[in-house]
Chains A and B, each alone.
Chain A
Amino acid sequence: MNETNPVEQYLRMDRMPHIWCSGCGLGTTVNCFVRALEGCQIPLDQICVVSGIGCTGRVAGYLKLDSFHTTHGRPIPFATGLKLANPKLKVVVYSGDGDLIAIGGNHFIHAARRNIDITVVCVNNFTYGMTGGQVTPTTPIDATATTTPYGNFEEPFNLPYLAESAGAVYVARWTTYHIRHITKSIKEALQKKGFSFVEIISPCPTLYGRRNRLGDGLEMMKFYKENSTIKNGADTREVGLAFKGHIVCGKFIDRERPSFLEMYNLKMSERLGSSYKTYEGIQ
């Protein structure tokens, strides 16, 4: 029997094994992502994946797509340049909570405000894994990190609320336990025009889990199973996360708003009239 895993065609198998720890949720998210690609009928040659730095930053390098491993915090502006120069591309930013929300937070809110037509997948493991487990802007109060040895005392960001407030047109949150939901959400996000955002709560047993006595990867998954509920359309103000607290998942936002380029073309033709030729990419 010659069986190959159906997701292999989407991966750079010549780069396996990957660098992620056992029990890490990143592999699960990548599996869901490529299964979403399978179903959404976008030609694979038109899909670009852009990552920043960190454990999640390595995703771009494992996907057999046009893929860019950029600088820490800056995949969103890189993706903005890609998308605006060639709007036919389907551009996905795939990165972690530290990359997207700490060092890259400014770009996150501005891309959402402008409604740049990209999909942002944020794998939120509440820690900087690659550098050994420091506190991030999503680490819950009381969780221990190497740089908060006596527990975190900073209020974390509630990412769905942040994304909605900044202007995202699609906002969903799942945990790595919710594999079918993740796949469905990523598929919807890819097909959505405008700034779409999918947060995936993911276990980092090696650093966040161990330091906070949350058990191994399997135990963290059990926790997600037992302590999460699906509330589609929930008020994003109510979905903030507490340490060892309940996790509200679901598709929270799905709304219409003209994208950056739609607004650009609309306003330019209003002002410039017939002398303006609709912008569809660099010729």
Chain B
Amino acid sequence: MRADPKGVLTGPHFLDGDHACCEGALAAGCRFVAGYPITPSTEVVERIAARFPYVGGIFIQMEDEIASSIAILGAVWAGAKAMTVTSGPGFSLMMEHIGLAAMLETPAVFVDVQRGGPSTGLPTLPGQADMMQARWGSHGDYEIIAISPNSPQECFDLCIVAFNLAEQYRVPVMFMMDECVGHMTEKVIIPPAEEIEVTERRYTKKKPGEYLPYLTNGDMIPEMVKAGDGYRFHVTGLTHDQRGYPVMNPDCQEKLVRRLVEKIKLNADKIIRIEEDETDDADVVVVSYGITSRVALRAIQTARAQGIKVGHLRLITVWPFPERRVRQLAERIKAFVLPELNYGQMFLELQRAVEGKTKTYLVPHGGGTVHRPEVIYEQIREAAK
């Protein structure tokens, strides 16, 4: 299915990442946004509030992030594509509803424009320290998808991907921006609507009475219905069976939670997007994501100029993590170097995937600004020895 031209501002633009994210959501068909102001994400909803009345969408500024994060789920069950937008403290408040979205298998996009933390931290300055929270923040076992754009262009392009993946897998998708990417202004090309691929919701063709909300047909992803269509369906955050009815026993728990986990895990190869550069004969591979990938590029260029064989693996989807590819590389390279604006979140996952098969070096940074490229370069040089 192609994008609805009504929401697509085709042409070249000069946009910051927050505004580009808004345009990406519009192009993806998002017509319901609930949000609460928080730096550095507010520009997304400000633009949404200005744009929506012209495209038949509705924006509501809720009383807090808790309300925002469940209002979007209500809207989805009424047939909308929906997202909410926040930063660290608000993201913390949304965790329970990320779990609810996972449990009800409600497709929705949660945008987190990351700033320095913990707590109020550095509201106007960048961080990448919500990466583990995106993956594990709500209680219980579940899987999500998380995407990390590194430019305003990607804020547009990948926001569409986020909506599409949410629909395809009926899963909440975390759109993990950061303050730098959100506030940097660059050229953004918005393609014609007919060139934008949009995944529609998979509604059941079954009649009321024949339909079971959580019956799967082998692909692990049940078909949806929406309120008002006569199905008289029930959904609950309690452990439930195929009828959507609560069942309090370990067998039902095992069936349901295993499927919630496996529908992402077993499809990981289809979901994962990475970008590789000169990894074929590399001695050292730099793993990076978001704004840090652009800083790392400078360090990689310097290292190559010094004759070091260094490759680059950029995570576009950060969750699920490309552990298979990482393990392949680990068999033959000397070391991985991972710079990030935290004290080792994705690094922990990298180490897990590497299974001790090669060396791993973290280049940590508390956030508030980006790394100096020299620091990453020094680590590459050290790792190549």
Contact = CB atoms under 8 A, between A and B. Distances in A.
Contacts of A76: 67
B238 A50 contact: no
Interface stretch (B17-25, B76-84, B113-121, B126-134): B76-84
A81 B229 contact: no
B70 A276 contact: no
Interface in A226-275: 264, 268, 272, 275
Nearest to B96: A71
B13 interface: no
B82 A65 contact: no
Nearest to A264: B58
Given A77-B62, A77-B66, A82 B230 contact: no
A68 B78 CA distance: 12
A209 B368 CA distance: 56
Interface stretch (B49-57, B316-324, B356-364): B49-57
Contacts of B73: 70, 78, 81
B233 interface: yes
A65 B234 CA distance: 8
B58 A85 contact: yes
A83 B32 CA distance: 11
Given A66-B232, A89-B228, A81 B78 contact: yes
Nearest to A48: B227
Given A89-B78, A279-B58, A70 B32 contact: no
A64 interface: yes
Given A81-B32, A84-B58, A61 B236 contact: yes
A282 B71 contact: no
Interface in A8-52: 12, 14-15, 44-46, 48, 50
B74 A282 contact: no
B333 interface: no
Given A106-B63, A106-B64, A272-B53, A45 B74 contact: no
A196 to B, nearest CB: 18
Nearest to A51: B236
B383 interface: no
Interface residues of B, number: 46
B136 interface: no
Nearest to A110: B63
Contacts of A268: 53
Interface string A103-115: 0001100100000
B309 interface: no
A163 to B, nearest CB: 16
A12 B246 CA distance: 13
Contact of B71 (A15, A45, A80, A106): A80
Contacts of A69: 234-238, 246
B221 interface: no
Given A70-B237, A282-B58, A78 B232 contact: no
Interface string B29-73: 001101000000000000000000110111010111011101111
Contacts of A123: none
Given A46-B228, A88-B228, A279-B58, A78 B78 contact: no
B212 interface: no
Contacts of B226: 86
B97 A85 contact: no
Contact of A45 (B67, B229, B245): B229
A60 interface: yes
B234 A12 contact: yes
A81 B237 contact: no
A77 B74 contact: yes
A82 B77 contact: yes
A86 B228 contact: yes
Contacts of B231: 66
Contacts of B159: none
Contacts of A106: 63-64, 67
Contacts of A82: 74-75, 77-78, 227
A46 B233 CA distance: 12
B246 A61 contact: yes
B245 to A, nearest CB: 6
A67 interface: yes
A275 B71 CA distance: 27
A83 B246 CA distance: 25
Nearest to B67: A77
B85 interface: no
Contacts of B100: 70-71
Contacts of B63: 106-107, 110
Contacts of A60: 234, 236
Contacts of A77: 34, 62, 66-68, 70-71, 74
Interface of A: 12, 14-15, 44-46, 48, 50, 60-61, 64-71, 74, 76-86, 88-89, 106-107, 110, 264, 268, 272, 275-277, 279, 281-283
Nearest 5 A-B pairs (CB), nearest first?
Answer: A81-B74, A69-B236, A85-B78, A77-B67, A81-B75
22 contacts: A14-B243, A14-B245, A15-B245, A45-B229, A45-B230, A48-B227, A66-B234, A68-B74, A71-B97, A71-B100, A77-B34, A77-B67, A78-B70, A78-B74, A81-B73, A83-B74, A85-B80, A86-B226, A89-B227, A276-B54, A279-B56, A283-B56
Interface of B: 31-32, 34, 53-54, 56-58, 60, 62-64, 66-68, 70-80, 82, 96-97, 100, 226-238, 243, 245-246
